[in-house]
Each structure stands twice: as structure tokens, then as C-alpha cells.
Amino acid sequence: MSKGLLHHIELYVSDIKKTVDFWSWFLEELGYIPFQEWESGRSWKLGDTYIVFVQTEDRFLDVPYHRCRVGLNHLAFHANSRQHVDEMTIKLKEKGISILYPKKHPFAGGDNHYTIYFEDPDRIKVELVAPE
């Protein structure tokens, strides 16, 4: 084990089916493999780290997620290269997924920060960033 590395992330979502449809292709494009599946959740694993999505109980769906509230702002993933970011941008657009900050894309994170930002079905911001 590598001390300090992230073990897993668990996110509660409003609609597990929409979440699985959205995240499965993206995570698998990044090399994650399906890990666990049960009635109200799914996970994908890469190395020793895994990401879990769980259906939120109805009684907790009254307040939707917003990244500007206390809690998670966004998830950022490493891309292999700038070309990888470009390829994923095309795939996102083909799937009808809106790109955030389109006027600044692919430098919305700064001059040397080649990245793409988009949102999942619950509006959790996702970033894919190329190495500098």
C-alpha cells in the first residue's frame, strides 16, 4: 500500500441509472474497470483506487447538489496528453454533453493548464487535464 494515496471516493447521486450511463464510458476510457455492482450502486476501479456511486434515498433528495456549497467542488482526472483531452472532448460532444467554459476551452484552467470541464447528470463538475 502507498501511504496517503486515495483509497476510494463515494458519491451519492439522484438517479443511479443516469449516473451509470454517464460515468461508465468515461471511466472505462480512462482505464477503470467495473468493480462492484448492487441494486443501488456501482463502482469502478483503477489500481488500488475505486470510485463508488450510490443512489440517494428519496428522503434526502429534497436539496440538490451544488458544487458551490460546502462539500465537493469537482473531480479531476489525469489525461495521457493534450491529444487525449482533444479526443475526449469530441466524444463528450458526440454524447451531447456540454463543455463548460467553451470560450476559454481548452485553457479554462489557465494558460498552461490544458483541460476540459463538463458536468455529470447531478451537475458534479468533472475535469480531464493533460500533463504539463
What residues have CB less than 8 Å from 21, skipping those under 6 apart? none
pLDDT of residue 99 exceeding 60, the answer is: yes
Provide mean pLDDT across the span 24-28.
97
CATH class for the domain made up of 73-132: alpha beta
- pLDDT class of 91 with cuts at 50, 70, 90: very high
Query: Is a pLDDT exceeding 90 seen at residue 126?
Result: yes
Q: With pLDDT > 90 as the criterion, what percentage of the chain qualifies?
A: 85
CATH topology of domain 1-58: 2,3-Dihydroxybiphenyl 1,2-Dioxygenase; domain 1 (3.10.180)
Taking the chain, what is the end-to-end CA distance rounded to the nearest angstrom?
27
Mean pLDDT of 54-65: 92
Domain with CATH 3.10.180.10 in the chain: 1-58, 73-132
**What was the pLDDT predicted at 124?**
95
Angle at CA 65, nearest 5°, toward 116 and 59? 150
Q: If pLDDT is split at 50, 70 and 90, which confidence band does 1 have?
A: low
| pTM of this structure | 0.90
Per-residue 3-state assignment (H helix, E strand, C coil) for 58-85? HHHCCCCCCCCCCCCCEEEEECCCHHHH
Q: Give percent above pLDDT 70 in the chain.
A: 99
